[in-house]
Amino acid sequence: MTVCEMCGKETEVFSAIIEGSELTVCAACGRFGKMLRKPVMRVVKKQAVEKAPGPVETVVTGFASLIRSAREKAGLTQKDFAMSLNEKESIVQKLENGAFVPPISLAKKLEKLLKIKLVEFEQEDEVSNEKRGSGPLTIGDILNVKK
């Protein structure tokens, strides 16, 4: 069951040419044009992409103080620093306050400009089959709680 493109009724629809346009319409609206055929509904399954376990890039903890001290050491104001990064001044303020965690791309820009280390590689853990029984995979099997 799909929606008729003319009246919006949720019913079985057909392809029809109405005033030169091919539409999917219900039987009632199909009388205004030439009925062609019943459309074939295709179900497309998305394949799950398994990510190979390996190192994942993350931003170091305490990045806010690192960015602020490096900027001040370089003698830049927040406004000048934001212009050299091609970012808004408010982003720089949020970065230095720790209210905004930079995406990896921005962290790499900051690394180049300030000559500091902000991105580290973290080893991603595999989900072990030892923890779980023979039943289906649960959220608890996947969840890693940081302490």
State pLDDT tens for residues 108-130.
999 999 999 999 988 766 545 45
Q: Measured between alpha carbons, how far is residue 8 from residues 15, 26, 27, 105, 125 in Å?
A: 15, 9, 12, 45, 49
Q: How far apart are CA 62 and CA 60, in angstroms?
A: 6
Is 141 a member of any domain?
no
52 alpha carbon, distance to own chain's centre: 19
Check: CB of residue 44 under 8 Å from CB of residue 54.
no
Share of the chain above pLDDT 90, in %: 41
Task: Give the CATH number of the domain where residue 75 resides.
Answer: 1.10.260.40
Is 65 a member of any domain?
yes
Our CA dihedral for 29, 32, 37, 42, rounded to 10 degrees, sits at -40
Is 42 a member of any domain?
no
Q: Are residues 33 and 60 in the same domain?
A: no
The residue segments making up the domain with residue 8 are 2-37
Q: Are residues 16 and 68 in the same domain?
A: no
77-112 tens-digit pLDDT: 999 999 999 999 999 999 999 999 999 999 999 999
Average pLDDT of every residue of the chain: 82
Q: Which amino acid is at 1?
A: M
